[in-house]
Structure 1
Amino acid sequence: MNRQRVRVTAALLTAAALVGVTAPTAAADDNAHGARHGTHGGTAPTVRERLDLLVDADGVPGALAYEGRRTVRAGTAELGSGKPMVGAEGRFRMGSNTKAFTAAAVMRLVVDGRLRVDDRAGRYVPQLADSPITIRQLLKQRSGLADYAGLVDWEKPLSDEGYLGLVLKEDLQFEAGTEWGYSNSNYLVLGMVITRASGTDYRTYIERTILKPLRLESTYWPGPGELTPRGPHARNYGVHPLHPEQGLTDVTELPAYEFFGASGGLVTTPKDLNAFWDGLFGGKLLPRWALRQMTHDTTEVGGRDVYPEGSRYGYGVASIPLSCGGAYWGHGGDLPGVSVGGGRATDGRGTVTVYTTTVAAQGSRLAHLQGAVDAALCDGR
């Protein structure tokens, strides 16, 4: 779901726990692009080399980079099986990339005149009736709300209202609007705002206004009790939140509907996620002024959480500097058993989705995942 809270899980994962498990390490659909480690002399590592480092050095079971015309894969779809990593049609949980979909849906409501970003959230969410928190502050991660991801009892799922009730029992992290602090609770609340403002469940609204217009036919919300991604998918590995005593294990089955919601609940494919970034930043979902607001009303977040220096956070999207100049806009996401990076670069440099089948939210894993995104978008430029 995110980025900070998931590190409790990530800390339990070590490369040593997976090193030594037999896995194919260099499957790719474009064999013309780069050989393995260091064959390019002093040049920057290629996408293939970054993915190989994730598998061979970091112990990640499987990794994939999809650039539209090319899919590069490393590792295996299932430990001990010898199965190659799935391709661009393989489904995975996108985690906090879901926030970009939620933010785009909020802006669709703004465009249609059904809410304003400076409305108080309490206008739509009765539990916040006495709070000064605005929709803008929720979008920008500036509300100060505690993160519900660190408060849930994984054995007792609640409604969104129930999770918000847990949050409101906690002190604010800071006064609304004064600081930036990543919290899944912001997008939990925005899902509730969408439901009230649109008159339909936020899942249905996002399907109607984003998934269907962009024809994202492989992207969906899991239903209640649905634990496993539909269709082709790789297995995921990590510490299961319901069974932490088991240590490193297969975590492919997770109760996504019950816990992740508007902050991290969507399932997708690399092909669909790329199509979303292209559709959003290509102006297919929102008028130019609304997209400009999402990407220009931003906060400097470089050096905080997983964001490198020079990064900025807008409305459910972030800009990450590229080594070749410019930046890319996307989000990123982590859940037990998956990390996702990527987005659409400025100046027409392309779009990429990179994901791994275990958490890669810190240390060398994070560097290699973000490096694969950078390599894909800067290759030859």
Structure 2
Amino acid sequence: MYRKRLTTALLLTTTLAVAFAPAASAHRPDPVQRQLDLLVERDGVPGALAFDGRTTRTAGVADRQTGRAMVGSDGKFRVASNTKAFTAAAVMRLVADGRIGLDDRAGSYVPQLAGHAVTVRQLLKQTSGLPEYTPLVDWSRPGTSEDQLALALAQPPVFGPGEDWGYSNTNYLVLGLVIDKVSGVGFRAYVEREILRPLRLRDTYWPAPGELALRGPHARNYGVDPADPGAGRVDVTDLPGHEFGASGGLVSTPRDLNAFWDGLFGGRLLPGWAVRLMTGDTTGIGGRDVYPAGSRYGYGVASVPLSCGGVYWGHGGDLPGSSVGGGRAAGGRGTVTVYTTTWTAEGEGLRHLRGAVDAALCARGR
């Protein structure tokens, strides 16, 4: 069902050096709004939103049929692979509590990996070499996490553990199983207890089994359904979110997602040394996949250079009907979430989504 477009939760933010001429008056164009307008007017995005903690900017509509206005900062959306940062933070909580070690073999906790040399650290860093499971799943009958892992393990490894970097949702599928074993309460309950509640992320949730719709106010999502690509762009709002699991299953809002980045990098979830490991033990990934030059991947988070100097830390994600990017700029210069209601992971759509993130963070840094 939802296969190739689910395989990579891609970082959707990058450097975009956009030169805006100095304004002669106070009525100069808003560079963030300009990028959102380009997404709608040139790229055919039904709706787009940017929230920087103070201002919500939107373009387009939330529903093509009714013309309903685009939702605001409290509108629900699937965060896709931003979920990996939540999962990584939960793993680091267990590390900080002395319950697991970064260099423990994953097979110590996940029987299917018994005999494999893959470590917890390599899973976090995407350096395990485990094959991608998502294109192998029949999403009309997705099965359990163990079933999904079995599909991946039936394939040859992409490379030896620690020998290279390669984005794979399987890494975070396994980390969910590790949390299940060590916490004794399951990764969903553990993330709720250790991350969502302490940060008061009341609008962030794991979909229940069989739950396809989004709760509360939300925009409709439009994209090519991998199960029926010949139908063109259709409504793909309803998805089997529970089955996306620890690698991509969370639902949130722009306001909550910003609060998560602020809480994580502001030291409200983990000891300082743990956050420094997440952002210091990194791999250069610039020029790989859609990652821009200068990007680095740590433990479920990535750094991306800004056109105004410095970097920001975050993640991003794609589904057939949405893309999201953003994060928190270093030095406390601001946090932003940019969200589109269709897939914009390539071409001009990606460039304009990146531009909105970059413009928002650079504007806050001035």
Question: How far apart are the structure 1 equivalents of 2:223 and 2:238?
Answer: 11
Q: Secondary structure of the residue that 1:334 maps to in structure 2?
A: strand
Kindly state the Cα deviation for residue 247 of structure 1 after the two structures are TM-superposed: 2.5
> For 1:120, which of 95, 98, 105 is the aligned residue?
105
Q: Secondary structure of the residue that 2:73 maps to in structure 1?
A: coil
Q: Secondary structure of the residue that 1:286 maps to in structure 2?
A: coil
Query: 1:28 aligns to what?
Result: none
Question: How far apart are the structure 1 equivalents of 2:321 and 2:348?
Answer: 17
Query: 1:254 aligns to what?
Result: 239
Query: Once superposed, what is the RMSD of the aligned Cα atoms?
Result: 2.2
Question: How far apart are the structure 1 equivalents of 2:73 and 2:22?
Answer: 26
1:164 and 2:163 matched: no
> For 2:160, which of 175, 180, 205 is the aligned residue?
175
User: Is the 8 Å Cα contact of residues 45 and 375 (structure 1) preserved in structure 2?
Assistant: no
- Paired AA for residue 360 in structure 1: T
Kindly state the Cα deviation for residue 163 of structure 1 after the two structures are TM-superposed: 0.3
User: Is the 8 Å Cα contact of residues 141 and 180 (structure 1) preserved in structure 2?
Assistant: yes
Question: How far apart are the structure 1 equivalents of 2:293 and 2:174?
Answer: 29
User: Is the 8 Å Cα contact of residues 134 and 169 (structure 2) preserved in structure 1?
Assistant: yes
Residue correspondence of structure 1 range 1-381 to structure 2 within 5 A: 5-6=4-5, 46-258=31-243, 260-379=244-363, 381=366
Question: How far apart are the structure 2 equivalents of 1:313 and 1:44?
Answer: 34
Distance change (3 Å), C-alpha of 1:93 and 1:188: same
Distance change (3 Å), C-alpha of 1:154 and 1:77: same
Question: How far apart are the structure 2 equivalents of 1:118 and 1:367?
Answer: 38
Moved more, 287-296 or 146-155: 146-155
State, as a whole percentage, how many aligned pairs show the same letter.
65
Q: Secondary structure of the residue that 1:331 maps to in structure 2?
A: strand
Query: 2:12 aligns to what?
Result: none
Cα deviation, 1:114-137, whole Å, max 9, x if unaligned, reads 100100000000000010000000
User: Is the 8 Å Cα contact of residues 258 and 327 (structure 2) preserved in structure 1?
Assistant: yes
Q: Secondary structure of the residue that 2:173 maps to in structure 1?
A: helix
Q: Secondary structure of the residue that 1:115 maps to in structure 2?
A: coil
Distance change (3 Å), C-alpha of 1:8 and 1:181: closer
Kindly state the Cα deviation for residue 379 of structure 1 after the two structures are TM-superposed: 1.2
User: Is the 8 Å Cα contact of residues 222 and 320 (structure 2) preserved in structure 1?
Assistant: yes
Q: Secondary structure of the residue that 1:373 maps to in structure 2?
A: helix
Question: How far apart are the structure 2 equivalents of 1:9 and 1:266?
Answer: 15
**Structure 2: which 5+ runs fail to align?**
10-19
Q: Secondary structure of the residue that 2:58 maps to in structure 1?
A: strand
Question: How far apart are the structure 2 equivalents of 1:317 and 1:9?
Answer: 14
Q: Normalising to structure 1: TM-score of the pair?
A: 0.89
Kindly state the Cα deviation for residue 307 of structure 1 after the two structures are TM-superposed: 1.0
Kindly state the Cα deviation for residue 241 of structure 1 after the two structures are TM-superposed: 3.5
- Paired AA for residue 6 in structure 1: R
Distance change (3 Å), C-alpha of 1:254 and 1:7: closer
Kindly state the Cα deviation for residue 44 of structure 1 after the two structures are TM-superposed: 9.6
Distance change (3 Å), C-alpha of 1:9 and 1:289: closer
Kindly state the Cα deviation for residue 348 of structure 1 after the two structures are TM-superposed: 1.9
Kindly state the Cα deviation for residue 39 of structure 1 after the two structures are TM-superposed: 8.5
User: Is the 8 Å Cα contact of residues 103 and 315 (structure 1) preserved in structure 2?
Assistant: yes
**Structure 1: which 5+ runs fail to align?**
11-37
Q: Secondary structure of the residue that 1:6 maps to in structure 2?
A: helix
User: Is the 8 Å Cα contact of residues 344 and 351 (structure 1) preserved in structure 2?
Assistant: yes
Q: Which has the higher contact order (CA 8 A, sep 6+)?
A: 2
Distance change (3 Å), C-alpha of 1:305 and 1:44: farther
- Paired AA for residue 231 in structure 2: Q
Cα deviation, 1:175-233, whole Å, max 9, x if unaligned, reads 11010000000000000000001111100000000000000000000001110110000
Kindly state the Cα deviation for residue 5 of structure 1 after the two structures are TM-superposed: 3.9
User: Is the 8 Å Cα contact of residues 9 and 336 (structure 1) preserved in structure 2?
Assistant: no
Question: How far apart are the structure 2 equivalents of 1:141 and 1:45?
Answer: 37
Question: How far apart are the structure 1 equivalents of 2:236 and 2:122?
Answer: 33
- Paired AA for residue 163 in structure 1: Q
User: Is the 8 Å Cα contact of residues 9 and 238 (structure 1) preserved in structure 2?
Assistant: no
User: Is the 8 Å Cα contact of residues 154 and 241 (structure 1) preserved in structure 2?
Assistant: no
Kindly state the Cα deviation for residue 7 of structure 1 after the two structures are TM-superposed: 8.2
Kindly state the Cα deviation for residue 244 of structure 1 after the two structures are TM-superposed: 3.3
Q: Normalising to structure 2: TM-score of the pair?
A: 0.92
Question: How far apart are the structure 1 equivalents of 2:6 and 2:95?
Answer: 34
